[in-house]
Structure 1
Amino acid sequence: MPLSSSKTNITVAHLASFQGNFGDVANHLGFRKWFSGLIQSDIHWANIEIRDFYRGNREFDANLVAELNAFDLVVIGGGNYFELWPENTRTGCSIDLPEELLKDIHPPIFFNALGVDDGQGVGEKARRYFADFVKYLYNSDKYLLSLRNDGALQNIRKNFPELSNFNFNVIPDHGFFVLSDSNLRHNHKKDISEVVIGLNLAQDMTNLRFKNGKEQFLSQIRHVLLKIEFDRLILFPHIYSDVEILYELISSLPDAIKREKISLSPLGSHNLDIRTTLENYLSVDLMIAMRFHANVIPLSLGTPTIGISSYPQISNLYADLDIQSWSLDVDQQADFPRDLTINLEEILSGSEIVRGTFQQIPIKLWAQRTSFEPTIKTWLGSHGFS
């Protein structure tokens, strides 16, 4: 049952990324639908684009504090905002809101399913400040801190032993729920006469993703695609640079595949683009994906998915879901193309064991988020939203 509030309308400042990445949009759609169900009052959301701070257009300063103080509640995330590599920070992470600023922010703050990312290293500022920052949030009833199910908890314990005994809330990324109970999902009619493969490739952070070279990786993907049978290949770019690497792959494929079997999902964060991309995710029989939310969405549907791990976040996600064997490391697999082919053939064989494994994932995720609801409802109630 949703909580009630003495106020008919609640204003919420939402600090996150809203433009330029399909995964972010899916995350927020899944979150707001759920959060609105927790509170009976109407919610007015105000977006504050976090990339403006990263680009240097805005600062984490007194002006932001004044802006946030005009709202009833503040939500930060979800997203990968506990990055540990920045050095121009007073907190040791990408959310540069030190204690002296937080004390001046009057509304309660929900830190929403945040990733703790050490994939680009742990900076000296993180070593000095991050643990104290987290302790301050954890020990104050003014804040509710939740971590994302992408290895965030393990990264904290690995890098900050002094936080190992803290009982952190870990919840699924809200992108897992963007299509739950949606009319789009209920009304979708899948063509069962064709085999449809979805593919997402990413090339940002090239030096981290492809230690053996991007060209070798693309050659391996091409080799695998030419060995298996399929009717359609839907390409899913989530950001602009995904288009570039997907184009490189397409250019290397035979003319018949390029002309007859390839579809390109939209790149964009407008409503029609989002709708079409979600419909395309509903259409695939299996997914091969590098980017985080390109794994999240098919997994949320129980679609067999192979995570291509070129960044620790993906292997961590699959470990959290207890399906490690379906995440393949680009650089550390003894024979990446062989293992990818084996996994694809096992899925395409119609194995009931494989199907059952992936169909259990949405059930587990739903239970994990549901178990967090008493915590957030109690916290909201303590701040008058009851």
Structure 2
Amino acid sequence: MTTTSLTGTSAVKAPSTDAAALTGKRRIAFASFVDENYLPGFLVLLRSLALSNPSVCEDFVVLYDDLKPGSIAQIRALHPRIVMRRVDADHYDSYQKGDQDNYLVRKAYFILDVFKIREYDTIITLDTDMVVLSSLSELLELREGLAAVPQFFYGQHKLNSGLLVIQKEYLSDEFCARLDRCGRSGDYELDKHDQGILNSVLNGDFVRLDPRYNFVKRRLSGDLPVPEDTAILHFTGRHKPWQGGEAGYSQAEERWREFELSDPEFHAAYMESSGGLHHDLLVHYGTPHVARTGNVEVARKLAAAHIGNGDYQDAVDVLSSVHIPLDEAWPHEVFGHALMSVSRYEEAKAQLLLATAAPNRAATAYARLAQMAWVHGNNAEALTHATAGIAVDPTHRSSRLWAQRAASVPAQEQGAPEDQLAHVAFYMDRQGNAGDKLLPESVRSAFGPDTTSRRWHSVHAHRLFDKAALERVNRRRGLVIGGGGLFIPDTMPNGNSAWQWNVPDELMAGIDVPIAVFAVGFNAFDGQSYRANRFGESLRLLVEKSSFFGLRNHGSIEKVRAMVPAHLHDKIRFQPCPTTVTRQLVPGWQDPAKRDDTILINAAYDRAGLRFGHDYAYFLAQMAQAVRDLGELAEVQCVAHSLDDEKIVFDLRREHGISMPVIPMYDFENKEILDLYARTKLVIGMRGHAGMIPFGVGTPIISLISHPKMAYFLRDIERPEWGVSVHDRHLAARLVECSKDLLADHNKTVADVHGRQQELWKATEANAADLRVILGG
């Protein structure tokens, strides 16, 4: 596949847009070697992991050599992310062993195959005679070295290999070669098998973990109780619990037998777990549980998980499969949410009205009713519902938002329809995301200096595009769609298009004026996807109908091309976000004569699980160090694009005693946003427009990458070194080093920003020439 360069067409194949590679998000897996003899222990291990860590679901690599199909089916039934990997058994025949013919001795080495795996950044190995009793979050957060618990009988120099936390540098050909040399030479404790080899090779060079992460049974000799802080109990020795156990360890074995459950018992136990339940586990266990029992409360949890993951039709299906009593308000509210997300509005309204009967669910139900009324253009009904929600709960933020939207009076349009362009965009409310607030005006400025209603007819993307809206658009001289990340499935879901513009196919097909898709982005996060065929069908029709189809980065171009037929690929071109060329678009723009001695930091918290994974505590600690060190270069301030962005300030103060002033950019007018970013020396931002807006006004940037679009933009301007992953092992040091480099000769850096911007402006100017022909004016 070819793609366009900054200014034209290039035959060079575009770099990969693999999301994990771009964001640097750590890929974590568990791993065990499993055979038929140890299968009962492994099934208990899987159940215990889920019940003790209900919010954790990473890949689980099963190394095996002789498992039967039925056994593999049992394993898959207990975990949704099983990765089966057959070991290279013959490889270990060349190793020197204490007893070459012993069945168990031969298999003891097979776990070393884990070091041949290259797909993950961190692998946690667990012996199949272990049971997990409490949180493993500390292990998931480890990022350095090879970690293990020292052996019980041999002091701190030797590890017990029952649990290993292996980082990527050990998952290498070089380390595998070291293991092979040791194994073939026999220069290790032969009776310790794989553990002997690891201890010989590492020679004490491993990260020591607390014994509670590999608490060996022998510590409990004399039938001692299992300590309450034990995280992993390890049944070392010949006698295993599933084989009858061993005298003198009855209290330990009782803990193991807590997880010797049937599937129905296990599913029910998981659904009753306290704390957050991981989506994948909830769906894997909740689906058969609901099918078997018809349990309404579990169906509600399952539907809510589907909604949180953007699987709205699945949520509708699961709640449709159970009988919801009239007085069960919460399931009715979730059902209404699911139905409105697939545009089954009348059915949704009925469910939500039922939910308003319960005081604890009424405010949310009224807010959703207000939202639906607003989507249909009925402001009076929306205000009635929102007001009812506020009456139930005066603090209910969503009800207040919809009351504000419904009560707002649209500005009177001043232009004649034949002189106007229609503009589909997300028109942000006051105190909404500052970047989204600026975008509509920025897009319009790319078509000329007049961004008012004299020339533009506003079409809110989230309102249902009905026949009346179609008639209004067809009276204009063209339709512009953009900008922003409109290709995202979950900000304001609908079943008509499955992206942000709520437009049915038949009405899109009825548009008879030229359509220009302008600087739209494909905004799916790493770990987020479009599962509905509806999006693909709507996207294809949009590309076919458009006279101009410009996406704001080459990563989005690749993603969209992959979803439409090949004959449409050439229609998809590069159109930078107009915020990135603001200096060229604002009439009479003047660069600041003097800049404030400040560094502005922005962090984003929407979809935090997708942004940070298990690394938020690490990110926060690194940012604390960075803020301290950056304070020696300039005054460090937090710039909040939305209210949620202030969380970093609260967390830094609470966890690390670091304070920063907060700039509430969500309260700013568009000119104030541009002025502030133009006056500062450097912006370190996690939101896309916390990078693109300052860049567009000529200010140096560093991107905190937690979303692929950040890397896409830096790649397009050929400055990938201006980005640092939020998962980077040396995040603070890299941020400070990069900041020093950019600030050392600030004038030179600003000139570089201007030069990069000029390349984007060339692409914009070239597209503008085509757009003038297409749209006129």
Choose from 273, 284, 288 the match for 2:684: 288
Q: Does 1:301 align with 2:697?
A: yes
Q: CA deviation at 1:73?
A: 2.8
Q: CA deviation at 1:116?
A: 1.7
Return the alpha-carbon distance in structure 1 between the equivalents of residues 472 and 455 of structure 2. Answer: 15
Equivalent runs, 1:1-386 vs 2, <5 Å:
10-19=419-428, 20-36=432-448, 43-50=454-461, 53=462, 58-83=463-488, 88-119=494-525, 121-125=528-532, 128-140=533-545, 143-149=547-553, 151-158=555-562, 162=566, 165-180=569-584, 182=586, 185-186=589-590, 188-191=592-595, 195-228=597-630, 229-249=632-652, 258=660, 262=661, 264-268=663-667, 273-331=669-727, 333-350=728-745, 354-380=749-775, 385=776
Return the alpha-carbon distance in structure 2 between the equivalents of residues 150 and 249 of structure 1. Answer: 35
Return the alpha-carbon distance in structure 1 between the equivalents of residues 598 and 725 of structure 2. Answer: 24
Return the alpha-carbon distance in structure 1 between the equivalents of residues 493 and 433 of structure 2. Answer: 25
Q: Determine if contact 1:200/1:289 at 8 Å carries over to the other structure.
A: yes
Name the SS for the 1:118 alignment partner: coil
Return the alpha-carbon distance in structure 2 between the equivalents of residues 74 and 233 of structure 1. Answer: 42
Structure 1 residues 208, 308: CA separation in 2 closer, same or farther (over 3 Å shift)? same
Structure 1 residues 59, 197: CA separation in 2 closer, same or farther (over 3 Å shift)? same
Q: Determine if contact 1:198/1:235 at 8 Å carries over to the other structure.
A: yes
Q: CA deviation at 1:372?
A: 0.7
Structure 1 residues 165, 112: CA separation in 2 closer, same or farther (over 3 Å shift)? closer
Structure 1 residues 185, 282: CA separation in 2 closer, same or farther (over 3 Å shift)? farther
Return the alpha-carbon distance in structure 1 between the equivalents of residues 555 and 667 of structure 2. Answer: 28
Q: CA deviation at 1:8?
A: 9.6
Q: Determine if contact 1:157/1:163 at 8 Å carries over to the other structure.
A: no
Name the SS for the 1:313 alignment partner: helix
Query: What residue number does 1:4 align with?
Result: none
Structure 1 residues 165, 77: CA separation in 2 closer, same or farther (over 3 Å shift)? closer
* Deviation per residue, 1:225-278 (Å, 9 max, x gap): 1123133223221122112333433556767x65xxx36243225xxx333332
Q: CA deviation at 1:318?
A: 1.0
Structure 1 residues 49, 110: CA separation in 2 closer, same or farther (over 3 Å shift)? same
Query: What residue number does 2:250 align with?
Result: none
**Partner amino acid for 2:725?**
D
Return the alpha-carbon distance in structure 2 between the equivalents of residues 187 and 304 of structure 1. Answer: 13
Q: CA deviation at 1:215?
A: 3.1
Structure 1 residues 87, 9: CA separation in 2 closer, same or farther (over 3 Å shift)? closer
Give 1 or 2 for the bigger CA radius of gyration: 2
Q: CA deviation at 1:174?
A: 1.4
Return the alpha-carbon distance in structure 2 between the equivalents of residues 37 and 311 of structure 1. Answer: 32
Structure 1 residues 241, 38: CA separation in 2 closer, same or farther (over 3 Å shift)? closer
Q: TM-score, normalization: structure 2? A: 0.42
Name the SS for the 1:166 alignment partner: helix
Identity of aligned residues (%): 22
Return the alpha-carbon distance in structure 2 between the equivalents of residues 81 and 373 of structure 1. Answer: 21
Return the alpha-carbon distance in structure 2 between the equivalents of residues 167 and 45 of structure 1. Answer: 25
Name the SS for the 2:435 alignment partner: helix
Bigger mean CA offset, 114-123 vs 242-251 = 242-251
Name the SS for the 2:759 alignment partner: helix
Bigger mean CA offset, 174-183 vs 277-286 = 174-183
Q: CA deviation at 1:293?
A: 0.8
Q: Determine if contact 2:674/2:697 at 8 Å carries over to the other structure.
A: no
Name the SS for the 2:704 alignment partner: strand
Name the SS for the 1:71 alignment partner: coil
Structure 1 residues 186, 344: CA separation in 2 closer, same or farther (over 3 Å shift)? same
Q: CA deviation at 1:208?
A: 0.7
* Deviation per residue, 1:192-245 (Å, 9 max, x gap): xx6321111111111011113433312211111112313322322112211233
Return the alpha-carbon distance in structure 1 between the equivalents of residues 701 and 504 of structure 2. Answer: 39
Structure 1 residues 246, 361: CA separation in 2 closer, same or farther (over 3 Å shift)? farther
* Deviation per residue, 1:307-350 (Å, 9 max, x gap): 0011111111111221112111112x232222222212222322
Return the alpha-carbon distance in structure 2 between the equivalents of residues 183 and 75 of structure 1. Answer: 21
Q: Determine if contact 2:602/2:684 at 8 Å carries over to the other structure.
A: yes
Q: Determine if contact 1:172/1:369 at 8 Å carries over to the other structure.
A: yes
**Partner amino acid for 2:772?**
K
Name the SS for the 1:106 alignment partner: coil
Structure 1 residues 189, 357: CA separation in 2 closer, same or farther (over 3 Å shift)? closer
Q: CA deviation at 1:16?
A: 1.0
Structure 1 residues 347, 250: CA separation in 2 closer, same or farther (over 3 Å shift)? farther
Name the SS for the 1:36 alignment partner: coil
**Partner amino acid for 2:765?**
T
Name the SS for the 1:199 alignment partner: strand
Structure 1 residues 219, 164: CA separation in 2 closer, same or farther (over 3 Å shift)? farther
Give unpaired runs (5+ residues) of structure 2: 1-415
Name the SS for the 1:307 alignment partner: strand
Q: Determine if contact 2:642/2:665 at 8 Å carries over to the other structure.
A: no
Return the alpha-carbon distance in structure 1 between the equivalents of residues 473 and 503 of structure 2. Answer: 12
Return the alpha-carbon distance in structure 1 between the equivalents of residues 714 and 752 of structure 2. Answer: 12
**Partner amino acid for 1:289?**
G
Higher relative contact order (CA 8 A, sep 6+): 1
Q: Determine if contact 2:543/2:568 at 8 Å carries over to the other structure.
A: no
**Partner amino acid for 2:510?**
D
Q: CA deviation at 1:24?
A: 2.1
Structure 1 residues 15, 284: CA separation in 2 closer, same or farther (over 3 Å shift)? same
Q: CA deviation at 1:183?
A: 6.7
Return the alpha-carbon distance in structure 2 between the equivalents of residues 336 and 213 of structure 1. Answer: 12
Structure 1 residues 250, 185: CA separation in 2 closer, same or farther (over 3 Å shift)? farther
**Partner amino acid for 1:46?**
H
How well do the aligned residues superpose, as a CA RMSD in angstroms?
3.3
**Partner amino acid for 1:44?**
R
Name the SS for the 1:282 alignment partner: helix
Q: TM-score, normalization: structure 1? A: 0.80
Return the alpha-carbon distance in structure 2 between the equivalents of residues 190 and 96 of structure 1. Answer: 45
Structure 1 residues 268, 46: CA separation in 2 closer, same or farther (over 3 Å shift)? farther
**Partner amino acid for 2:770?**
T
Return the alpha-carbon distance in structure 1 between the equivalents of residues 621 and 585 of structure 2. Answer: 39
Q: CA deviation at 1:75?
A: 2.1
Return the alpha-carbon distance in structure 2 between the equivalents of residues 180 and 253 of structure 1. Answer: 42
Name the SS for the 1:178 alignment partner: helix
Q: CA deviation at 1:91?
A: 3.9
Q: CA deviation at 1:300?
A: 1.7
**Partner amino acid for 1:244?**
K
Name the SS for the 2:665 alignment partner: coil
Name the SS for the 1:375 alignment partner: helix
Structure 1 residues 150, 290: CA separation in 2 closer, same or farther (over 3 Å shift)? farther
Return the alpha-carbon distance in structure 2 between the equivalents of residues 32 and 181 of structure 1. Answer: 10
Query: What residue number does 2:227 align with?
Result: none
Name the SS for the 2:528 alignment partner: coil
Structure 1 residues 252, 279: CA separation in 2 closer, same or farther (over 3 Å shift)? farther
